[in-house]
Amino acid sequence: MGMWFEDFIVGEMFETVARTVTEADVVTFSGLSGDMHPLHTDAEYAKATPFGQRVVHGALVLSLAVGLRGRTGRFDDTLIAFLEIRSWQFRRPVFIGDTVHARNEVVEARASSKPGRGVVVQRVEVVNQEGEVVQSGDMVTLVRQRP
Amino acid sequence: MGMWFEDFIVGEMFETVARTVTEADVVTFSGLSGDMHPLHTDAEYAKATPFGQRVVHGALVLSLAVGLRGRTGRFDDTLIAFLEIRSWQFRRPVFIGDTVHARNEVVEARASSKPGRGVVVQRVEVVNQEGEVVQSGDMVTLVRQRP
Amino acid sequence: MGMWFEDFIVGEMFETVARTVTEADVVTFSGLSGDMHPLHTDAEYAKATPFGQRVVHGALVLSLAVGLRGRTGRFDDTLIAFLEIRSWQFRRPVFIGDTVHARNEVVEARASSKPGRGVVVQRVEVVNQEGEVVQSGDMVTLVRQRP
Amino acid sequence: MGMWFEDFIVGEMFETVARTVTEADVVTFSGLSGDMHPLHTDAEYAKATPFGQRVVHGALVLSLAVGLRGRTGRFDDTLIAFLEIRSWQFRRPVFIGDTVHARNEVVEARASSKPGRGVVVQRVEVVNQEGEVVQSGDMVTLVRQRP
Amino acid sequence: MGMWFEDFIVGEMFETVARTVTEADVVTFSGLSGDMHPLHTDAEYAKATPFGQRVVHGALVLSLAVGLRGRTGRFDDTLIAFLEIRSWQFRRPVFIGDTVHARNEVVEARASSKPGRGVVVQRVEVVNQEGEVVQSGDMVTLVRQRP
Amino acid sequence: MGMWFEDFIVGEMFETVARTVTEADVVTFSGLSGDMHPLHTDAEYAKATPFGQRVVHGALVLSLAVGLRGRTGRFDDTLIAFLEIRSWQFRRPVFIGDTVHARNEVVEARASSKPGRGVVVQRVEVVNQEGEVVQSGDMVTLVRQRP
């Protein structure tokens, strides 16, 4: 099921399944990351901001995007390493109860100088249940060539 | 205790406290993000890779960097939004039991076109207990000006 | 407080206390088990199914039944091993917010071929707040005889 | 990627990826299920049993088997419901640090009396890193026919 | 199984079962409480203190004492409210891997001015696997009289 | 940022930031502490009590108070040990969704008999979003003198 370097064709897209971001996710991420900014953990404070309610941590949504991509199983045997995140923009707030998925487009695929591996750049957009792009940027991974 | 836009001077640095990344953190992050790649969750598989052991998720270390920055309380009342992560590079693996902290240098601070706010760019380096930089990149935030 | 093999009389019943299944339980179980089927984790997807909402994992409800039985403390010193689950049927969906408890009836108790121990079979029914049986089956345990 | 009823051929097998069971998993499951039997939560008590150490909850291993099967994504769009677990035997103890995966063989596949669906019975064996079968039994699911 | 006000006899004692405090417990409590003091979360920092290693949060051990008392089920139907904790002393550090239980002695039991209820004061000692008292103090509860 | 013994002036107060207590917090604390009293975990049971709904564990609110105090970072380098909690009263119930913070007043500060350290007693009040004191008592800590 894994995708080898040769399987990544520039211009091809895939979409992941979706996931609802729950209050429990936000609470767990606050504790795990240590980011307890009142915007995420204090409902009274959040009510008084322009958002009007608690906002999901940007880095949690980014982490969900990584996880949703991984859940496809495509990288289970073929990924060597996650190299870089480029120009990752937090474009719209995500709220508790929103459902997000990731849209992935191969924008670059080049063989590495080391044999047997290649660098794949994917343009990733995280999309909510309204079809709005909430985050986007490029994820760069190092992938095995087909043996 | 919060830092207003005016308090960010290009060239100034601060270091966060440190935190040990535990197996429990990796397990929680696997479940939270859904990223259960065998490199993170299967010790037998990981033993057979060049890493020789399970590797901490790159996005978890990034999240810890955000959290460690937040724990300073500097942004508690002054942060408006997290705008962007630029050129975030995963430079060295982090293993279970490593202790990381973040080094932050203000590299840009410019008033926003909207009044009362400014954009701050910080160069963030995540450093392990050996003093090695394991991840680095720029974090861009929107911060309130002093009222 | 523990129950020895001799204390299990065929036909006797006991009921456990009850517990409300929360969204946090479902989120934790998704991450712990790795079962992130959209029926459990994607509220938009679930809305479009005949269930109309997210469904609690069957294996979580089964695990709660085991835990509720254990909370009685009856097995704390007397249980040797959990041997088998027989004909465990998922009969009705459990939804977030439902409150379940377990009804246990001893249906078989026979001395083991090894001295000092016996096999106890209990018919377990998991019941929701409406009195409906949502799951049922037999749990077989190996229990110490009274010393 | 999903498997429709027609794709299940009696006699065909698939194996899941593997996962290491951590102390954190056991702790989380104790709290989630409420099963805090000293065999799982008291290292001193466990040391004095024939097992010599804490044992992973049987129902956690069963839950992991369900999750590992789900991670293949095969059931994401095609599963209607989990119907039954039959003759699930806890055959060998699983210890903290063990790595388990599931072996699945289709043993029965019959159309349902209701149109558009079928019942699939899979013989599931949970196998540890030594190749030993630690749990086994049948999982019965209701699956969509190809539209 | 519950204990009514009349069942509490001054001078009577009971001991709870024991529980091993794991690294996962400490990590979870750090995130839940927000107490991420480096003594609990930074193994390098802790190494350089007189303790020589990370110390379990005092409030976590106190919480475990409450939980271990509750696991007896004695209070399930009879507890009205937890009123007060008196003179709770943190006497010795608890380390990851220690196993603790609670020793409870009724030191006072008096009928309340309101009918049908009474106040019970218990002297609680938390004891580690070496038999050392690590914490102690009085817990005051409001309990129902036998109907 | 840390506060040394000399920085604690009797009569001085500080207030922490606030935090909303979520259902996820209550669920996690139930599992972590093992205190699964139906008042905290069974919504149907709780409905029938004078509280009319599930109540947050007293010891969780106490733990949050410790954590909120710690989040100020004041004790990061200067705290030697948490010595005692005195007369901690559970004065009003806290419900899921309430937002609490802690008010701290230095009521005693005396040099220790051992050089380089001092004992600080703070009167702590936990206050909800209505301004009501829900818990209060004294926290006694051992703090370093300025080097």
Per-residue model confidence as pLDDT tens for chain F (147 residues): 678 999 999 999 999 999 999 999 999 999 999 999 999 999 999 999 999 999 999 999 999 999 999 887 778 789 999 999 999 999 999 999 999 999 999 999 999 999 999 999 999 999 999 999 999 999 999 999 998
In this predicted structure, what is the pLDDT of residue F25? Answer: 98
In this predicted structure, what is the pLDDT of residue A72? Answer: 76
Q: How close, in Å, is residue B17 to chain F by CA atoms?
A: 9
Q: Angle at the Cα of B70 (from B67 to B74), degrees rounded to 5?
A: 170
Q: How many CB atoms lie within 10 A of CB F22?
A: 23
Nearest to C33 among D37, D67, D84 (CB): D67
CA dihedral D36, D40, D41, D47 (to 10 degrees): 140
* Sign of the dihedral defined by the CA atoms of residues B77, F134, E103, E74, in that order: negative
Q: Determine the average pLDDT of the residues in A95-113.
A: 97
Q: Determine the average pLDDT of the residues in C7-13.
A: 95
Band the pLDDT of E12: cuts 50, 70, 90. Answer: very high
3-state secondary structure of F122: strand
Q: How many CB atoms lie within 10 A of CB D12?
A: 12
Nearest to D64 among C33, C60, C137 (CB): C33
DSSP code string of chain E: -PPPGGG--TT-EEEEEEEEPPHHHHHHHHHHH----HHHH-HHHHHTSTT-S-B--HHHHHHHHHHHHHHT-TTTTTEEEEEEEEEEEE-S--BTT-EEEEEEEEEEEEE-SSTTEEEEEEEEEEE-TTS-EEEEEEEEEEEEPP-
| Residues of chain B positioned with their CB less than 8 A from the CB of D69 | none
Chain B neighbours (≥3 Cβ pairs under 8 A) are A, C, D, E, F
Query: Residue D15 forms beta bridges with which residues?
Result: D103
Q: What CATH number does residue C139 fall under?
A: 3.10.129.10
Q: Would the pLDDT of C19 be above 70?
A: yes
- Per the CB < 8 Å rule, is D42 touching E71? no
| Residues of chain C positioned with their CB less than 8 A from the CB of D39 | 79
Q: Would the pLDDT of C31 be above 80?
A: yes
Per-residue model confidence as pLDDT tens digits over A22-60 = 999 999 999 999 999 999 999 999 999 999 999 999 999
**Residue from E25, E26, E29, E32 to probe the interface with A (highest A Cβ count within 10 Å):** E32
Per-residue model confidence as pLDDT tens digits over B18-39 = 999 999 999 999 999 999 999 9
Nearest to D38 among E18, E22, E24 (CB): E18
What's the per-residue H, E or C state across chain C?
CCCCHHHCCCCCEEEEEEEECCHHHHHHHHHHHCCCCHHHHCHHHHHCCCCCCCECCHHHHHHHHHHHHHHCCCCCCCEEEEEEEEEEEECCCCECCCEEEEEEEEEEEEECCCCCEEEEEEEEEEECCCCCEEEEEEEEEEEECCC
In this predicted structure, what is the pLDDT of residue A147? Answer: 87
Report d(CA C81, CA F92) in Å as an integer.
44
Q: How close, in Å, is residue F113 to chain B by CA atoms?
A: 31
Report which secondary-structure segment, H or E, holds D28. helix D23-33
Calculate what percentage of chain C has a pLDDT beyond 90.
90
Tokens representing B68 are: 């460690």
Query: Residue D111 forms beta bridges with which residues?
Result: D118
| Residues of chain C positioned with their CB less than 8 A from the CB of A25 | 27
- Per the CB < 8 Å rule, is F76 touching E38? yes
Band the pLDDT of A76: cuts 50, 70, 90. Answer: confident
- Per the CB < 8 Å rule, is A39 touching B64? no
Q: Angle at the Cα of B56 (from B49 to A111), degrees rounded to 5?
A: 55
Full domain range(s) for residue E30: 5-144
Per-residue model confidence as pLDDT tens digits over B110-138 = 999 999 999 999 999 999 999 999 999 99
Nearest to F25 among A27, A43, A44 (CB): A27
Q: How close, in Å, is residue C90 to chain F by CA atoms?
A: 22
Per-residue pLDDT of chain D in tens (147 residues, 90 and over written 9): 678 999 999 999 999 999 999 999 999 999 999 999 999 999 999 999 999 999 999 999 999 999 999 887 778 789 999 999 999 999 999 999 999 999 999 999 999 999 999 999 999 999 999 999 999 999 999 999 998
| Residues of chain D positioned with their CB less than 8 A from the CB of B44 | 18, 20, 99, 129
Q: Please, which residues have CB within 8 angstroms of residue F24's CB and are 6 or more apart in sequence?
A: A22, A23, A24, A27, A28, C22, C23, C24, C27
Report d(CA E142, CA D130) in Å as an integer.
54
| Residues of chain B positioned with their CB less than 8 A from the CB of F71 | 71, 73
Q: Is residue F144 within 8 Å of F130, Cβ to Cβ?
A: no
Q: Angle at the Cα of C137 (from C133 to C143), degrees rounded to 5?
A: 125
- Per the CB < 8 Å rule, is E44 touching B20? yes
Beta strand extents in chain B (DSSP E only): 13-20, 79-90, 99-111, 117-127, 133-144
Q: What is the pTM of this model?
A: 0.97
Tokens representing D26 are: 């056991």
Per-residue model confidence as pLDDT tens digits over C81-133 = 999 999 999 999 999 999 999 999 999 999 999 999 999 999 999 999 999 99
Chain C neighbours (≥3 Cβ pairs under 8 A) are A, B, D, E, F
- Per the CB < 8 Å rule, is F59 touching E60? no
- Per the CB < 8 Å rule, is D17 touching B42? yes
Q: Is residue B99 within 8 Å of E44, Cβ to Cβ?
A: yes
CA dihedral E120, E126, E127, E132 (to 10 degrees): -110
| Residues of chain D positioned with their CB less than 8 A from the CB of F57 | none
Tokens representing D6 are: 């027609």
Q: How many CB pairs under 8 A join C and F?
A: 34
Report d(CA D2, CA C137) in Å as an integer.
30
In this predicted structure, what is the pLDDT of residue C72? Answer: 77
In this predicted structure, what is the pLDDT of residue D71? Answer: 85
Q: How many CB atoms lie within 10 A of CB E143?
A: 23
Nearest residue of chain B to residue E54 (CA atoms): B20
In this predicted structure, what is the pLDDT of residue A133? Answer: 98
| Residues of chain B positioned with their CB less than 8 A from the CB of E43 | 20, 97, 99
Chain E neighbours (≥3 Cβ pairs under 8 A) are A, B, C, D, F
Q: How close, in Å, is residue A27 to chain F by CA atoms?
A: 7
Q: How close, in Å, is residue F85 to chain B by CA atoms?
A: 25
In this predicted structure, what is the pLDDT of residue E1? Answer: 61
Q: Would the pLDDT of C1 be above 70?
A: no
- Per the CB < 8 Å rule, is E23 touching B19? no
**Residue from D71, D75, D101 to probe the interface with A (highest A Cβ count within 10 Å):** D71
In this predicted structure, what is the pLDDT of residue B75? Answer: 81
Choose among B45, C138, C58: nearest CA to D17: B45
Q: Please, which residues have CB within 8 angstroms of residue D50's CB and are 6 or more apart in sequence?
A: none
Q: Which residues of B touch C (CB under 8 A)?
A: 28, 30-32, 34, 36
Q: Would the pLDDT of E106 be above 70?
A: yes
- Per the CB < 8 Å rule, is B42 touching D97? no
Query: Residue C52 forms beta bridges with which residues?
Result: none
Strand arrangement of the beta sheet that strand B99-111 belongs to: A13-20, A99-111, A117-127, A133-144, A79-90, B79-90, B133-144, B117-127, B99-111, B13-20
Please report how many Cα atoms fall inside a 13 Å half-sphere around the Cα of residue F142, on the Cβ side. Answer: 14
Tokens representing D58 are: 């049987």
In this predicted structure, what is the pLDDT of residue B2? Answer: 78
- Per the CB < 8 Å rule, is D71 touching A72? no
- Per the CB < 8 Å rule, is B35 touching A79? no
Question: Total domain count for chain C?
Answer: 1
Round the average pLDDT of chain B to a whole number and report it: 95
Q: Which residues of C touch D (CB under 8 A)?
A: 19, 25, 28-29, 32-39, 57-60, 62-64, 66-68, 70-71, 75-76, 79, 81-90, 137
In this predicted structure, what is the pLDDT of residue D77? Answer: 82
| Residues of chain D positioned with their CB less than 8 A from the CB of E99 | 42-44
DSSP-derived letter for residue B55 is: B
Q: Which residues of E touch A (CB under 8 A)?
A: 28, 30-32, 34, 36
Q: What φ, ψ does residue C70 adopt, rounded to 5°?
A: -70, -30
In this predicted structure, what is the pLDDT of residue D76? Answer: 78
Q: Which residue has the tokens 């979409």?
A: A15
Q: Angle at the Cα of C78 (from D89 to E19), degrees rounded to 5?
A: 95
Amino acid at residue number B112: S
Chain F neighbours (≥3 Cβ pairs under 8 A) are A, B, C, D, E
Report d(CA C32, CA D73) in Å as an integer.
17
Q: Would the pLDDT of C62 be above 70?
A: yes
- Per the CB < 8 Å rule, is D30 touching F31? yes
